[in-house]
A and B are shown apart, each in its own frame.
Chain A
Amino acid sequence: MLSRVAASFYWLSRYIERSDGILRMLKINYNSSQDSTEGFTWAPVIRVFSGLDEELEAKLGNDSRTILRYMVTDKSNQNSILNIITFARENARSVQEHIPKDLWQCLNEYYHTVKDPKLDIRLQREDPITVLDVIIKQVMLYYGTAEITMERGQGRSFMNIGKYLERAIQSIDILDIKYKPTNTNPTLLTDITYWKHLLLSIGGYELYLKTYRDGLEAQNVIEQIILNNDFPRSVIYSVNNIQRYFDRLKNNSNVNDYREISFQIGKLQSNIKYSSVKSITNQGLHQFLTLIKDDLYKIGNSLNEYYFANS
């Protein structure tokens, strides 16, 4: 497979996964914003997906519709859904003859749905959840079509590596930013709505209720998001899948490159696997998460160097 094509698969998938994460988070946060005016703030969302720009935060304020429009249809926001799907589509376009026609059409429809000027108007006037659901459905169609039609080859491996790498980074960012204020405000550690929000944002609330019977607690939330093998958005689940799909790239012609990255992934995987909530909090959650994130970035860079010929 051409290196450039592999890179496009990887980035296509990272962008789609990012759009999925953002959309789900917007939906839950919007819902919460209708629940309680008190204590709810959009700040974490904006921080995760738009960098730590305080000026921007002040400008956007806390008005839900302003923020939704900024996150979905605003061209000036690098991480708006409109921009992300445009990037995803540009990547798909450059590998059009490698992806099934169905999948290309699916992406195309996703793009045209978001690009449609009517969507922005609907976001201002109609129920935002209905509008977000329309877009989320496009992402789900994409994943379903990819699952059914993608040939089981290198291309799909690069796609899945990109997907899980993006997902791991997202979960880390969300946990990190949500946890940060507890340093100055320890009462948050036991604030039930605060953690419920976090879990709902990444779709882990139901699993949490089934796993932990003793109410919401920061420690358990950390455990679920980092260490739970059954939670599809946990860091360990994502890293395991990176390892799984990377393994399939093994062949005789690039043994050394393969070994180099395989080592990096294996080391990261063990590091997480042999951690406990206790060891993590002793080390400091922020520090632990930063190290894991650095390792993930390094894996991304190595792929770039050894497989995408972009060194």
Chain B
Amino acid sequence: MYQSQHFDKYNLINGVWDEMYNQNSIVRDHYQKVIEYLANESPDDLNKKEELAKRLFMTQGITFTVYNSGEGIEKIFPFDIIPRIITAAEWAFVEKGIKQRLTALNLFLKDIYHNQFIIKDGIVPIDIIYSCPHFLREMYQLDVPYDVYVHIAGIDLIRDHDGTFYVLEDNLRTPSGVSYMLENREITKRLFPDLLPNCNVRSVTEYPSILYKNLLSLSPRQISNPTIVLLSPGIYNSAYFEHTTLARLMGVELVEGRDLVVNNHKVYMKTTTGLQQIDVIYRRVDDEFLDPLVFNPNSVLGVAGLMGAYRKGNVAIVNAIGNGVADDKATYIYVPDMIKYYLNEEPILKNVPTHRLSDPDEREHVFKNINTMVVKKTNGSGGYGMLMGHASTEEEIEDYKAEILKAPRDFIAQPTISLSAAPCYIGGVLQPRRIDLRPYALCGPDGIEIVPGGLTRVALTEGSLVVNSSQGGGSKDTWVLS
């Protein structure tokens, strides 16, 4: 163990991959420089850095609002000052794996909304597709520019006890959190002067310009300055900060549903000098709310007639509508098969073994072994509605089983994966906490690009395996070394 007061209480968790220490309790090479730096800082210095980080988030308004009894409480997304470090070799592997997976998923979406070969060939069962609420008939036979459906993907990765990367879920609709990848890096620059260049950390700042370049290339009108907008649900959305940050960094207009109007299958925004036609919409509004004429009729977050304009090809929408059928947790089971089917390749990144609870045999198996399982809703997100078998009471389990039996299609179960641990500065000392990794992949006409970095989410509660911000999770700056 490293001799420094910060590390006195760093107790390795049994059977868990530690990002900083190897199995012999020796600091891994890629953490060496950071650890040396930290060892030279007094606890007082580190506390000051923690304070500074909080203050920077607060004054810059990098906050989300939690509405409680009518009163908005401003909160910052908890940030741990110790970076998470990924080696060049690990990154190369992850990057290759995500590119492969995303390529297959794009092909799957095109296939499923056109000829459905994958169903006809019996690779993916038809009931999985047609029972998915995110499979939208409105998308059938609709051609999208360059056959790209998933322009932005946030595929969540975790590491098991031996360090193997697994895909936990594919977020292919409107993955969020990328602004925290960018802001966390800005904060780290302020907290640890000179440390980033000394460690040869690769930059993440290119993200907005790559995204902008891709959006530009999608314009249906061949004109020199197409109008690109970011469609946000508005200031009460918890990700609003991210929407403004991206709009600002790309120099595009941020619009809300009420700013838009559709006329003659073209989308316009209302400006002080009249209507202006829109070519590309990077939307951060869910499918269901995009067009009250086609989807949820009560929605005011989108604009009436948008789907018509989309079908006519007069406007490009990013990500494409109907992607939910590909990141549904029941479809997830078949992604390795898709990779083999479409690409004739072996999957690089592994899936977590997953049980479909609509299958009576698998269901029985899961019910028997529920203490070692995590049960999730196929369409759930944010860590809501999950059952962690090992941490639940008898009663909770019985209630949950009853829920499952009502609609078995809506649930899947996975064995509890341990999640790797990384050092966090908590209560004045370094302590191991569980983490995941969400790199952001951008897919454009020229292929897939992944900015070297991502969002590392961390379960700040001791022993917890849930990293979602809604469940007491925080984040870390994520370093990819060159």
The reply to whether the CB of A109 lies closer than 8 angstroms to some CB of chain B is yes
Distance A249 CA – B272 CA, assembled complex (angstroms): 9
Interface hits, B42-77 → A, CB 8 Å: 58-61
The reply to whether the CB of A105 lies closer than 8 angstroms to some CB of chain B is yes
Q: Are B59 and A3 in contact (CB under 8 A)?
A: no
Among A4, A97, A108, which residue has its beta carbon within 8 angstroms of that of B59? A108
Interface hits, B154-204 → A, CB 8 Å: none
The reply to whether the CB of A267 lies closer than 8 angstroms to some CB of chain B is no
Q: Are B259 and A4 in contact (CB under 8 A)?
A: yes
B: number of interface residues (CB 8 Å): 23
Contact A154/B248 with A105-B59, A109-B59 known, Cβ cut-off 8 Å: no
The reply to whether the CB of A15 lies closer than 8 angstroms to some CB of chain B is no
Name B's interface SS.
mixed
Q: Are B272 and A96 in contact (CB under 8 A)?
A: no
Distance A251 CA – B269 CA, assembled complex (angstroms): 19
Closest chain-B Cβ to A30's Cβ sits at a distance in Å of: 29
Among B235, B244, B270, which residue has its beta carbon within 8 angstroms of that of A97? B244
Q: Are A251 and B259 in contact (CB under 8 A)?
A: no
Complex interface bits, A1-15 against B, C-beta within 8 A gives 1, otherwise 0: 111101000000000
The reply to whether the CB of B274 lies closer than 8 angstroms to some CB of chain A is yes
Closest chain-B Cβ to A170's Cβ sits at a distance in Å of: 26
Q: Are B274 and A253 in contact (CB under 8 A)?
A: yes
Complex interface bits, B260-279 against A, C-beta within 8 A gives 1, otherwise 0: 00000000011111100000
Q: Are B235 and A251 in contact (CB under 8 A)?
A: no
Q: Are B271 and A3 in contact (CB under 8 A)?
A: yes
Interface hits, B230-258 → A, CB 8 Å: 234-235, 240, 244-245, 247-248, 253-256, 258
**A286: which B residues are within 8 A, CB to CB?**
none
Please indicate which of the listed interface residues A90, A101, A108, A308 has the most CB atoms of chain B within 10 Å of its own CB: A108
Contact A309/B270 with A4-B259, A93-B235 known, Cβ cut-off 8 Å: yes
Closest chain-A Cβ to B356's Cβ sits at a distance in Å of: 44
Q: Are A108 and B60 in contact (CB under 8 A)?
A: yes
The reply to whether the CB of A182 lies closer than 8 angstroms to some CB of chain B is no
Distance A3 CA – B271 CA, assembled complex (angstroms): 5
Complex interface bits, A62-105 against B, C-beta within 8 A gives 1, otherwise 0: 00000000000000000000000000001001101100010011
Closest chain-B Cβ to A39's Cβ sits at a distance in Å of: 40
Q: Are B254 and A97 in contact (CB under 8 A)?
A: yes
Complex interface bits, A208-245 against B, C-beta within 8 A gives 1, otherwise 0: 00000000000000000000000000000000000000
Q: Are B235 and A3 in contact (CB under 8 A)?
A: no
Interface hits, B72-92 → A, CB 8 Å: none
Interface hits, A1-59 → B, CB 8 Å: 1-4, 6
Q: Are B60 and A105 in contact (CB under 8 A)?
A: yes
Distance A93 CA – B236 CA, assembled complex (angstroms): 10
Complex interface bits, A233-272 against B, C-beta within 8 A gives 1, otherwise 0: 0000000000000000101011000000000000000000
Closest chain-A Cβ to B386's Cβ sits at a distance in Å of: 32
Distance A1 CA – B259 CA, assembled complex (angstroms): 11
Among B59, B234, B253, which residue has its beta carbon within 8 angstroms of that of A2? B253
Closest chain-A Cβ to B75's Cβ sits at a distance in Å of: 13
Contact A2/B259 with A94-B235, A307-B272 known, Cβ cut-off 8 Å: yes
Q: Are A108 and B61 in contact (CB under 8 A)?
A: yes
The reply to whether the CB of A122 lies closer than 8 angstroms to some CB of chain B is no
Closest chain-A Cβ to B149's Cβ sits at a distance in Å of: 27
Complex interface bits, A152-185 against B, C-beta within 8 A gives 1, otherwise 0: 0010000000000000000000000000000000
Please indicate which of the listed interface residues B61, B248, B254, B269 has the most CB atoms of chain A within 10 Å of its own CB: B61
Distance A35 CA – B235 CA, assembled complex (angstroms): 46
Distance A105 CA – B59 CA, assembled complex (angstroms): 6
Contact A105/B272 with A2-B259, A93-B235 known, Cβ cut-off 8 Å: no
Complex interface bits, A271-311 against B, C-beta within 8 A gives 1, otherwise 0: 00000000000000000000000000000000000011100
Contact A96/B270 with A3-B259, A104-B61 known, Cβ cut-off 8 Å: no
Q: Are B240 and A93 in contact (CB under 8 A)?
A: yes
| Closest B residue to A306 using CB positions | B272
Closest chain-B Cβ to A27's Cβ sits at a distance in Å of: 26
**B270: which A residues are within 8 A, CB to CB?**
2-4, 309
| Closest A residue to B276 using CB positions | A2
Distance A96 CA – B270 CA, assembled complex (angstroms): 18
Please indicate which of the listed interface residues A90, A94, A109 has the most CB atoms of chain B within 10 Å of its own CB: A94
| Closest B residue to A7 using CB positions | B272
Q: Are B235 and A90 in contact (CB under 8 A)?
A: yes
Contact A4/B258 with A104-B61, A108-B60, A253-B273 known, Cβ cut-off 8 Å: yes
Distance A126 CA – B235 CA, assembled complex (angstroms): 36
Please indicate which of the listed interface residues A4, A90, A251, A253 has the most CB atoms of chain B within 10 Å of its own CB: A4
Among A1, A4, A105, A251, which residue has its beta carbon within 8 angstroms of that of B256? A4
Closest chain-A Cβ to B204's Cβ sits at a distance in Å of: 19
**A2: which B residues are within 8 A, CB to CB?**
253, 255, 259, 269-272
Q: Are B60 and A254 in contact (CB under 8 A)?
A: no
**B248: which A residues are within 8 A, CB to CB?**
96-97
**A1: which B residues are within 8 A, CB to CB?**
271-273
Please indicate which of the listed interface residues A4, A97, A104, A307 has the most CB atoms of chain B within 10 Å of its own CB: A97
The reply to whether the CB of A112 lies closer than 8 angstroms to some CB of chain B is yes
Distance A105 CA – B254 CA, assembled complex (angstroms): 19
Among B61, B258, B259, which residue has its beta carbon within 8 angstroms of that of A105? B61
**A4: which B residues are within 8 A, CB to CB?**
255-256, 258-259, 270
**A154: which B residues are within 8 A, CB to CB?**
272
Closest chain-B Cβ to A158's Cβ sits at a distance in Å of: 8
Closest chain-A Cβ to B392's Cβ sits at a distance in Å of: 38
**B58: which A residues are within 8 A, CB to CB?**
108, 112
Closest chain-B Cβ to A73's Cβ sits at a distance in Å of: 14
Contact A97/B247 with A2-B253, A105-B59 known, Cβ cut-off 8 Å: yes
Q: A1-B272, A105-B59, A253-B273 are in contact. List 10 more A-B contacts (CB 8 A).
A: A1-B273, A2-B270, A2-B271, A3-B259, A3-B272, A93-B61, A97-B244, A104-B61, A112-B58, A254-B273
Q: Which 6 A-B pairs have the closest CB atoms?
A: A97-B248, A96-B244, A253-B273, A309-B270, A97-B247, A3-B270
Q: Which A residues fall within an 8 A CB radius of B?
A: 1-4, 6, 90, 93-94, 96-97, 101, 104-105, 108-109, 112, 154, 249, 251, 253-254, 307-309
Cβ contacts A to B, 18 pairs, < 8 Å: A2-B255, A2-B269, A2-B270, A3-B272, A4-B255, A4-B259, A93-B235, A93-B244, A94-B234, A96-B248, A97-B244, A97-B245, A97-B248, A104-B60, A108-B59, A112-B58, A253-B274, A307-B272
Q: Which B residues fall within an 8 A CB radius of A?
A: 58-61, 234-235, 240, 244-245, 247-248, 253-256, 258-259, 269-274
